[in-house]
Structure 1
Amino acid sequence: MPAGPRPSVLFVTDLAYEARGRRYCDEDIHLTARLREDFDVALCHPRDAAALLEGFDTVVIRNSGPVLHYQEAYDAFRARARELGTRVYNPLHGRGDMAGKQYLVDLSRAGHPVIPTVDRAADLGSLPEAPEYVVKPKLGADSAGLRFVREAELPEGEDGTMLVQPRIDFRYEVSFYFVDHDFQYALYAPDPERRWALEPYAPDAADLAFARGFVEWNSLGHGIQRVDACRTARGELLLVELEDLNPYLSLDRVAEPVREAFVTRMKASVRDLLA
């Protein structure tokens, strides 16, 4: 008997987006080539996704760039996907960066191992003393709008729109990559001044428990998540970000067997979403 039709994937990416220290386009060219082994794949820019998603079995959002650059188009895409009941990968109910950075305030308030974060002037006194503080937009990305200040403060009228954190003295940043709830690999930046000069990192049991705690806290049964953390001077890990919309994967920084295992697991995850 002839094989049935293959599932169709609308792969959302911005191949022209220029990111500091990263080659978004190379990663997505590689991923789409591999996905075509199992799916019928078409690529589109995030601004075109709402108009094109009908007729595809699923939409895979990958390196589509910061949503703030096309917020209106992204909101239209979300509304249209929900209207049509389209399966989206990652699903649209994530609680991490997909929903803005309110989660950092909530997790900090609840006592999770997160960089202490507040978003209101009334709460500034709860932050630990530090030589400098970071102020950044709650809906920011790629360090847009980030500034360093000597005193923990929020200008009048910015309650609820800006985040304030102590500037952490850290040894290095480390990222943990998951498909669904399965750990795949970890990478770290040994030089704090070169965030994307990444090298393979071998996490211990405590590291993995830390990262898994945030993946389990999130509400995604399917999809790719990247848990970004920093190792403080005292040796503890603190969450920096939980990337659950379109995390860059740095697949060019891992060995071929690791990359192959990741792609295989991602394919299985997409198939499972469609089941």
Structure 2
Amino acid sequence: MNNVKVFLMMAGLTALLGAVGSMISGQSGLVMALVLAVGMNFFAYFASAQMVLRMYGAQVVDQAQAPELYAMVDRLRQRAGLPMPTVALAPHVQPNAFATGRDPEHAVVCVTEGILRAVSPDELEGVIAHELAHIKNRDMLLMTVTATLAGAISNLAHFGFFFGGGRDRRDVHPFVMIAMLLLAPLAAMVVQLAISRQREFKADAVGAQISGRPRSLANALRKLEMGAHRIPMDVSPAVAPLAQVNPLAAVSGGGFTKWFSTHPPMEERIARLEALARDPAAR
């Protein structure tokens, strides 16, 4: 069901891109906006791992430097049928973790120093399995494609706002044009974030399969959520979505802002994992 939702949202983004391009500047404008978005995200896709590690202040560690962590990642990646990822440690007190890299052969799994003190070994296995699930599901590629579509929509809207529509767009009512210019980028961002939330649910489910301990992941998520609210993390909002729980939770809001959240509600994630622990077919 998760994959169906993501497919429908991706289809919606594509349709929105076509509608905005057609309304503002026809096929030529659509192609130009898409090429620009592809170029921007192509660079981010291939340079992502090193960029993210720098923004988190993380350092790569080997088997000699972190034997227990390295062995745990190695054991779980074998269960997942993945090549050994690079292992990294971020010097943050807040308990958290993330994965990055353009594909399984260039993947990175990073945990903070705080998580090694905050959770049990079983819970840490659940956390790492969740990150390996992101790698297995190729979520970095999916989110790059999503960002490309959303970026193209935004590019088109900005082009239309500053330069107006093409000569064949004069039949479009000005009010409709203005509404499209203002609302299309917002709608694209909301859909993009919704896809991100769905991938977190999927990573929870696949991670629980890899570790075989959905309740351990649920317990870890409770501790990570508490830690994120209690201990601030100095990290750029640009890379916050990669973390297992929102590292900026201490400064984020609720209510209407949930539509602009990169992470699903924690209580819902935990409820799904608890259901999975009771009945593996629940996913």
User: Rg bigger for which structure?
Assistant: 2
Kindly indicate whether structure 1 or structure 2 has the higher relative contact order, using CA contacts under 8 Å at least 6 residues apart.
2
Q: What is the TM-score normalised by the length of structure 2?
A: 0.25
Q: TM-score, normalised by structure 1?
A: 0.26
Higher helix share: 2
Larger fraction in strand: 1
